[in-house]
Protein backbone atom coordinates (compact mmCIF):
# COMPACT_ATOMS: atom_id res chain seq x y z
CA UNK A 1 0.00 0.00 0.00
CA UNK A 2 3.01 2.30 -0.10
CA UNK A 3 1.80 3.45 -3.53
CA UNK A 4 -1.42 4.90 -2.05
CA UNK A 5 -1.85 8.65 -1.69
CA UNK A 6 -5.00 10.28 -0.28
CA UNK A 7 -5.75 13.98 -0.46
CA UNK A 8 -8.62 16.44 -0.25
CA UNK A 9 -10.28 17.18 -3.58
CA UNK A 10 -9.63 20.52 -5.23
CA UNK A 11 -11.51 22.57 -7.82
CA UNK A 12 -9.61 20.97 -10.68
CA UNK A 13 -10.89 17.55 -9.50
CA UNK A 14 -14.58 18.27 -10.12
CA UNK A 15 -14.84 16.13 -13.27
CA UNK A 16 -12.95 13.29 -11.59
CA UNK A 17 -15.39 13.36 -8.67
CA UNK A 18 -18.32 13.24 -11.07
CA UNK A 19 -16.67 10.36 -12.96
CA UNK A 20 -16.35 8.41 -9.69
CA UNK A 21 -19.99 9.16 -8.85
CA UNK A 22 -21.06 7.79 -12.23
CA UNK A 23 -18.91 4.66 -11.82
CA UNK A 24 -20.44 4.08 -8.39
CA UNK A 25 -23.92 4.54 -9.86
CA UNK A 26 -23.19 1.87 -12.49
CA UNK A 27 -22.03 -0.52 -9.75
CA UNK A 28 -25.18 0.20 -7.73
CA UNK A 29 -27.39 -0.10 -10.82
CA UNK A 30 -28.57 3.49 -10.35
CA UNK A 31 -26.92 5.31 -13.25
CA UNK A 32 -30.21 6.89 -14.33
CA UNK A 33 -30.39 8.64 -10.96
CA UNK A 34 -27.21 10.70 -11.46
CA UNK A 35 -28.13 14.27 -12.32
CA UNK A 36 -25.11 15.91 -10.69
CA UNK A 37 -23.05 18.14 -12.96
CA UNK A 38 -19.54 19.55 -12.75
CA UNK A 39 -21.13 22.88 -11.81
CA UNK A 40 -23.15 21.37 -8.95
CA UNK A 41 -20.12 19.47 -7.63
CA UNK A 42 -18.01 22.64 -7.85
CA UNK A 43 -20.66 24.68 -6.03
CA UNK A 44 -21.40 22.25 -3.19
CA UNK A 45 -18.03 20.59 -2.62
CA UNK A 46 -15.51 23.28 -3.50
CA UNK A 47 -17.26 26.62 -2.96
CA UNK A 48 -19.97 26.17 -0.31
CA UNK A 49 -18.29 23.12 1.24
CA UNK A 50 -21.63 21.44 1.97
CA UNK A 51 -19.76 18.20 1.41
CA UNK A 52 -16.10 17.19 1.44
CA UNK A 53 -14.26 14.73 -0.75
CA UNK A 54 -11.14 12.65 -0.36
CA UNK A 55 -9.46 11.27 -3.46
CA UNK A 56 -7.28 8.17 -3.45
CA UNK A 57 -4.45 7.65 -5.93
CA UNK A 58 -2.24 4.67 -6.65
CA UNK A 59 0.91 6.56 -7.58
CA UNK A 60 -0.52 9.07 -10.10
CA UNK A 61 -3.65 7.09 -11.04
CA UNK A 62 -6.96 8.06 -9.39
CA UNK A 63 -8.50 4.90 -7.95
CA UNK A 64 -11.25 5.96 -5.54
CA UNK A 65 -13.03 8.56 -3.49
CA UNK A 66 -14.95 9.17 -0.30
CA UNK A 67 -17.55 11.92 -0.14
CA UNK A 68 -18.78 12.98 3.30
CA UNK A 69 -20.49 15.74 5.25
CA UNK A 70 -21.27 16.60 8.84
CA UNK A 71 -24.58 16.05 10.58
CA UNK A 72 -25.61 16.49 14.21
CA UNK A 73 -26.77 14.10 16.93
CA UNK A 74 -29.21 15.66 19.34
CA UNK A 75 -28.73 12.78 21.77
CA UNK A 76 -24.94 13.10 21.81
CA UNK A 77 -24.98 16.88 21.50
CA UNK A 78 -22.16 16.58 18.95
CA UNK A 79 -21.65 16.63 15.25
CA UNK A 80 -21.16 13.40 13.36
CA UNK A 81 -19.49 12.48 10.11
CA UNK A 82 -21.78 10.98 7.49
CA UNK A 83 -20.11 9.04 4.70
CA UNK A 84 -22.27 9.53 1.63
CA UNK A 85 -20.17 7.51 -0.82
CA UNK A 86 -17.06 5.35 -0.72
CA UNK A 87 -15.86 3.85 -3.98
CA UNK A 88 -12.71 2.13 -5.19
CA UNK A 89 -12.46 1.10 -8.81
CA UNK A 90 -12.91 -2.69 -9.15
CA UNK A 91 -9.43 -3.34 -10.49
CA UNK A 92 -7.93 -1.70 -7.38
CA UNK A 93 -10.01 -3.49 -4.75
CA UNK A 94 -8.64 -5.98 -2.22
CA UNK A 95 -5.48 -3.89 -1.81
CA UNK A 96 -6.56 -2.14 1.40
CA UNK A 97 -7.41 1.13 -0.34
CA UNK A 98 -11.05 1.23 0.80
CA UNK A 99 -9.93 0.61 4.37
CA UNK A 100 -7.32 3.36 4.05
CA UNK A 101 -9.99 5.83 2.88
CA UNK A 102 -12.26 4.83 5.75
CA UNK A 103 -9.43 5.13 8.27
CA UNK A 104 -8.64 8.62 6.95
CA UNK A 105 -12.28 9.51 7.65
CA UNK A 106 -12.01 8.04 11.15
CA UNK A 107 -9.02 10.32 11.75
CA UNK A 108 -10.94 13.34 10.44
CA UNK A 109 -13.97 12.47 12.61
CA UNK A 110 -11.72 12.12 15.65
CA UNK A 111 -9.94 15.42 14.96
CA UNK A 112 -13.31 17.13 14.50
CA UNK A 113 -14.58 15.68 17.81
CA UNK A 114 -17.42 13.84 16.10
CA UNK A 115 -19.59 11.64 18.28
CA UNK A 116 -20.05 9.03 15.57
CA UNK A 117 -19.63 8.08 11.94
CA UNK A 118 -22.50 6.70 9.90
CA UNK A 119 -23.29 5.60 6.37
CA UNK A 120 -25.80 3.52 4.45
CA UNK A 121 -25.17 0.44 2.36
CA UNK A 122 -27.48 -1.28 -0.08
CA UNK A 123 -28.82 -4.50 1.43
CA UNK A 124 -27.57 -6.60 -1.53
CA UNK A 125 -24.00 -5.28 -1.33
CA UNK A 126 -22.57 -8.20 0.64
CA UNK A 127 -18.89 -7.36 -0.03
CA UNK A 128 -19.37 -3.87 1.44
CA UNK A 129 -21.41 -5.19 4.39
CA UNK A 130 -18.75 -7.79 5.18
CA UNK A 131 -16.02 -5.14 4.90
CA UNK A 132 -17.79 -2.71 7.24
CA UNK A 133 -18.55 -5.41 9.79
CA UNK A 134 -14.91 -6.57 9.71
CA UNK A 135 -14.00 -3.07 10.93
CA UNK A 136 -16.43 -3.27 13.85
CA UNK A 137 -19.27 -1.26 12.29
CA UNK A 138 -22.71 -2.39 13.38
CA UNK A 139 -25.92 -2.28 11.32
CA UNK A 140 -28.72 -0.10 12.64
CA UNK A 141 -31.42 -2.65 11.81
CA UNK A 142 -34.06 -1.04 14.00
CA UNK A 143 -34.03 2.12 11.85
CA UNK A 144 -35.63 2.64 8.45
CA UNK A 145 -34.43 5.36 6.11
CA UNK A 146 -37.09 7.67 4.68
CA UNK A 147 -36.62 10.13 1.87
CA UNK A 148 -38.52 12.99 0.33
CA UNK A 149 -37.33 13.64 -3.21
CA UNK A 150 -37.12 17.13 -4.64
CA UNK A 151 -40.34 16.44 -6.54
CA UNK A 152 -42.15 15.24 -3.42
CA UNK A 153 -40.99 18.30 -1.48
CA UNK A 154 -42.26 20.52 -4.29
CA UNK A 155 -45.66 18.89 -4.10
CA UNK A 156 -45.78 19.37 -0.34
CA UNK A 157 -44.75 23.02 -0.59
CA UNK A 158 -47.51 23.49 -3.17
CA UNK A 159 -50.03 22.33 -0.54
CA UNK A 160 -48.88 24.96 1.97
CA UNK A 161 -51.03 28.03 1.56
pLDDT in the model for residue 100: 97
From CA 18, how far away is CA 4, in angstroms rounded? 21
pLDDT digits (tens, 9 = 90+) for 23-54: 999 999 999 999 999 999 999 999 999 999 99
- Residues with Cβ within 8 Å of 132's Cβ and at least 6 positions away in sequence, in order, are 119, 121
From CA 155, how far away is CA 45, in angstroms rounded? 28
What's the mean pLDDT when you consider all of the chain? Answer: 94
Mean pLDDT of 128-157: 92
From CA 42, how far away is CA 11, in angstroms rounded? 6
Model confidence at 149: pLDDT above 90: no
Model confidence at 6: pLDDT above 70: yes
pLDDT in the model for residue 2: 64
Mean pLDDT of 57-85: 97
pLDDT digits (tens, 9 = 90+) for 107-132: 999 999 999 999 999 999 999 999 99
Active site residues: 132
Domains of the chain: 4-159 (3.40.630.30)
- Residues with Cβ within 8 Å of 125's Cβ and at least 6 positions away in sequence, in order, are 28
pLDDT in the model for residue 1: 56
Mean pLDDT of 85-89: 97
Q: How far is CA 74 from CA 60, 80, 97, 119, in A?
A: 42, 10, 33, 17
Main-chain phi, psi angles of 79, to 5 degrees: -75, 160
> Which of the four pLDDT bands, split at 50, 70 and 90, describes residue 161?
low
From CA 118, how far away is CA 95, in angstroms rounded? 23
- Counting every residue written for the chain, the total comes to 161
pLDDT in the model for residue 14: 98
Residues forming beta bridges with residue 57, ordered by sequence position: 5, 62
Amino acid sequence: MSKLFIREAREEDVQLILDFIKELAVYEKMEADVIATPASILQHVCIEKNAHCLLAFEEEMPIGFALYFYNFSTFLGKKGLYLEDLFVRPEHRAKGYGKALLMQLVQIATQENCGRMEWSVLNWNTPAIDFYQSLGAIPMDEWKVYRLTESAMGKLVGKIS
